[in-house]
Amino acid sequence: MPTAWNGQDSIHYEEEGIGEALILIHGVGLDHTMWTRQVEDLSKHFRVIVYDMVGHGGSSHPPGPYTLPQFVEQLAELINSLKIDRCHIVGFSMGGMVASAFALKYSEKIKTLTIMNAVATRTEEQRKAILKRVEEVKRTGPMATIEPAIQRWFSPSFLNGQKQLVDQIRKRLETNDHASYSASYTLFATADEELWPRIQQIKVPTQIITGELDIGSNPEMAEQLHEKIVNSEMMIVPNMKHMLPIEGSHIVNEAIRSFIEKQTLMNVEG
């Protein structure tokens, strides 16, 4: 298990394939293993790198509270330690916030950005709902929020037909460090307020993807991001909920590969 270092904090990562670097950033409470289907397929075309964010998986779990710049600098240190000049970045859910914030500070290091199932700016009602879950996590730990999350994330047919895969996600959530998860979830619940006023400053080629039936990262949010980010592209995947990289992996893989190839071709022709 390769490890990079951000000061005294470790960064657990794995990589497979050769070619241009493609870095995938997981969502809150998950880890690099959520990208298994992407690594298997996209490593045929790219040097695919997956890692565990601050307070997740095998990376260091410093005490909270956590900040968005903390996650951005972790990613910057990983890229520097792997001697990558420029890369393609895909961020899922909270990882989409980290990827966006990274693009704002380190645009010179990014070739393309894919923001997947991510939050734009929450309404007052949506803010109240997620802050209520934050307080529940702080009060009782993450267990009470896991089953509702599973139901929000996957379609009924996938829940019934892919129980082993769903159980892997469930186990990942159940085994999170409580303090780290609480700090991460608190950041996830509030970081959109920090990002939104600056989101239009993203200038790198950007693709925005979400599921038609995603409640927390809904098509309206994707549309808002699309309107703010100049020359971005948007894809709404029919009949899909939140966990698009797993349930809709074939669609996601094709979208990522096609977008990168399109931008590469445009740069060559330009």
Q: In what order do the strands lie in the sheet with 110-116?
A: 3-6, 9-16, 47-51, 21-25, 87-92, 110-116, 206-211, 233-237
What pLDDT score does 265 carry? 85
What residues contact 56, with CB distance under 8 A and at least 6 apart?
26, 29, 30, 31, 176, 180, 184
CA distance 49 to 61: 20
Q: What is the mean pLDDT of residues 206-235?
A: 97
What pLDDT score does 200 carry? 97
Contact in structure between 204 and 112 (CB atoms under 8 Å): yes
What pLDDT score does 3 carry? 82
- pLDDT surpassing 60 at residue 270: no
Tell me the percentage of the chain whose pLDDT exceeds 90. Answer: 88
Q: Give the E-state strand segments of 96-223 in sequence order.
A: 110-116, 206-211
Structural domain that includes position 140: 3-269
Per the structure, the count of domains in the chain is 1
Which CATH number belongs to the domain containing residue 135 in this structure? 3.40.50.1820
Q: With bands split at pLDDT 50, 70 and 90, how would you rate the model's confidence at 175?
A: very high
Q: What is the mean pLDDT of residues 245-259?
A: 98
| Predicted confidence (pLDDT) per residue in 176-204, tens digit | 999 999 999 999 999 999 999 999 999 99
| Predicted confidence (pLDDT) per residue in 43-88, tens digit | 999 999 999 999 999 999 999 999 999 999 999 999 999 999 999 9
| Predicted confidence (pLDDT) per residue in 81-139, tens digit | 999 999 999 999 999 999 999 999 999 999 999 999 999 999 999 999 999 999 988 88
Tokens of 216: 């927390």
CA distance 158 to 137: 26
Tokens of 225: 């991001």
- pLDDT surpassing 90 at residue 266: no
